[in-house]
Structure 1
Amino acid sequence: MGYRFGLIGYPIKHSLSPWIHEKFLQKAELQGEYNLYEIKANESFAKKIDELKKENLNGFNITVPYKKTIIPYLDELDKKAAAIGAVNTVVCENGKWIGYNTDGDGYLRSLIKAYPLVGQDKNNKILILGAGGAARGILYTLSCNGYQQIDLANRTENAARELKTLYEMQNTNLLSLQEAENAMSDYDIIIQTTSVGMKSTDGHAIVKVNGLSEKNIVSDIVYQPVTTNFLRNAKNEGARIHYGHTMLLYQAQYAFELWTDVRVEINEMEQELLEQLEG
């Protein structure tokens, strides 16, 4: 009997998670399967979770809109997931469901893989655009890994202030999007964490980029399209860019480690996923 993994969310029929984790199983030379468990808005979440417990899964992922909804159904919560307030990975072990969040670690792994010096220089000045769930996970992970010069820019200051207070970020400045736009070249790393730029709005960018050069790394967690308008503009300015689809792979890599104790190498999968996304 092989491993049994899955994904909870809605809608998820076009999710790339089965492809990613089936590749991981092959690389690790393990038997297993990865299935989708859609829970529609008009269905009872509690009933569906009760049904899922009978599936005897080894672990599963959770995506929108259930990353917070799942928490009361868990037996334990990892410290990081508790701090972030959201779960994207559950380990089923000895009859218990334990919740984790691999988004922030996956993001940082993908960034360091693309630009190894980022892992060595904790004095990089970082700007995070957005103050939602993704920003929360990335900010917490960066802070835990010793990065202290992290500023936040958001459409509404209240959300950014709440995040700064939550994580007791003493050195964090709060900026409006206009202020961020004007100060863009001051930052070594700029991370776009909102949904602006996704397929439905791919002609838009959260801020204009100007005055950038090769010293700036510009990152976008949006992965459809792979090259968002924000990244395209940054590249045209001369900045180095970091693609969102790599975060998808590395957060999955970490989840797979939690389930199997095996760390698979990504290697050619970055290019293969790129080809999947670009059709």
Structure 2
Amino acid sequence: MLNQLDGHTILIGLMAYPIRHSMSPTMHNHSFEKLGLNYAYLAFEVDDKTLPKAIDSIRALDMRGSNISMPNKQTVIPLLDKLDPTAEMIGAVNTIVNDNGVLTGYTTDGVGFMQSLDDENLNIRGQKMVLSGAGGAGTAIAIQAAFDGVKEMAIFNRDDEFLENAQRNVDIINEKTDCKATLHHLEDQDDFKAQLADAFIYCDSTSVGMNPLEGQTLISDPSWFRKDLIVYDTVYAPRTTKLMEVAEAGHVDHVFNGLGMMLEQGAAAFKLWTGEDMPVDYIHDILFSEDK
């Protein structure tokens, strides 16, 4: 890659906190190199306090754009010029594209989630999903899954600042899709277990399991899981989360971390920035061979 960097190199960023664990720079920079594109992708630790100046820098430095991750996916919206219709509906942004100083926000998380399951030949359309979390990623997953044909969805969230957003997600799904969504409180463990009993897939979209919550999980009892339940943790650092360990102890056949989702959402963002298709198979081999 060093042979490509020059005065014409186009910069793309990733703004989140924490972010040093991210595999996105590896994914995008290997893609640029593979395709011979004169771009560079760098990670910047940016929280909600430094986010406004960071977004201004996209214009000031004529960056092509940036990825946005926790805790900035929703707080970034007022700082942008436009939103893609899907991002506007979801109320979260994970990708910014800069067109001559006009910043447009997109969300690719939901598409990435659904595509990652398709990549594994797992079809959740027409099935019941239990989803924990209603932040940027959880919202994108919920609404995309509903639009793509998930039949029933039980959304669980703590009684915290995201509970109102969880209710909003339920309302949008029920009003605009054929999916039947219901809101549940994570504090009600009996209800949580009961909803999982007839679910086809459980997805944890929270940050529980990653630093600084590494080693923690919302479900600690393997008996909550069935062999034929799909268990999906959107966290991918560490590669094996505590939730995954519990699911494997429960003899679940299909247990995933968020690496596949990260790859596919990244491919969608890559297309928005460059107009080119990411070499997904090539990047898959790199990401999944990393010893993390």
**TM-score normalised by length of structure 1:** 0.86
For residues 39 and 198 of structure 1, the distance between their equivalents in structure 2, rounded to whole angstroms, comes to: 18
Q: List per-residue Cα deviations over 1:223-258 (Å, max 9, x = no partner).
A: 122111211221222221122122222111110011
Q: List per-residue Cα deviations over 1:1-39 (Å, max 9, x = no partner).
A: 344312233443443322111011123332221133444
The partner residue of 2:194 within 174, 182, 188 is: 182
For residues 209 and 182 of structure 1, the distance between their equivalents in structure 2, rounded to whole angstroms, comes to: 14
Partner in structure 1 of residue 148 of structure 2: 145
Identity of aligned residues (%): 32
For residues 213 and 42 of structure 1, the distance between their equivalents in structure 2, rounded to whole angstroms, comes to: 43
* 1:52 Cα deviation from its structure 2 partner: 3.1
Which amino acid letter does the alignment assign opposite residue 195 of structure 1? S
The partner residue of 1:133 within 136, 156, 162 is: 136
Answering whether residue 215 of structure 2 is matched by residue 203 of structure 1, we say: yes
Answering whether residue 44 of structure 2 is matched by residue 32 of structure 1, we say: no
* 1:40 Cα deviation from its structure 2 partner: 5.9
Partner in structure 1 of residue 231 of structure 2: 218
Which amino acid letter does the alignment assign opposite residue 272 of structure 1? I
For residues 68 and 117 of structure 1, the distance between their equivalents in structure 2, rounded to whole angstroms, comes to: 30
Residues 12-161 of structure 1 correspond to what in structure 2 (within 5 A)?
12-39=19-46, 43=50, 45-114=51-120, 116-118=121-123, 122-156=125-159, 158-159=163-164, 160-161=166-167
For residues 69 and 130 of structure 1, the distance between their equivalents in structure 2, rounded to whole angstroms, comes to: 17
**TM-score normalised by length of structure 2:** 0.83
**CA spacing shift, 1:2–1:271, aligned 2, 3 Å:** same
**CA spacing shift, 1:171–1:202, aligned 2, 3 Å:** same
**CA spacing shift, 1:76–1:161, aligned 2, 3 Å:** closer
**CA spacing shift, 1:225–1:8, aligned 2, 3 Å:** closer
Q: List per-residue Cα deviations over 1:18-75 (Å, max 9, x = no partner).
A: 21110111233322211334446665x4444334312112222122333233322322
Aligned-CA RMSD value: 2.5
* 1:277 Cα deviation from its structure 2 partner: 5.6
For residues 198 and 140 of structure 2, the distance between their equivalents in structure 1, rounded to whole angstroms, comes to: 23
> 1:196 touches 1:205 (CA, 8 Å); kept in 2?
yes
**CA spacing shift, 1:243–1:268, aligned 2, 3 Å:** farther
* Structure 2 unmatched ranges of 5 or more: 1-7
For residues 210 and 173 of structure 1, the distance between their equivalents in structure 2, rounded to whole angstroms, comes to: 24
Q: List per-residue Cα deviations over 1:157-213 (Å, max 9, x = no partner).
A: 954434312433662233344112234231111111112222433333202342544
Which amino acid letter does the alignment assign opposite residue 55 of structure 2? I
Which amino acid letter does the alignment assign opposite residue 33 of structure 1? A
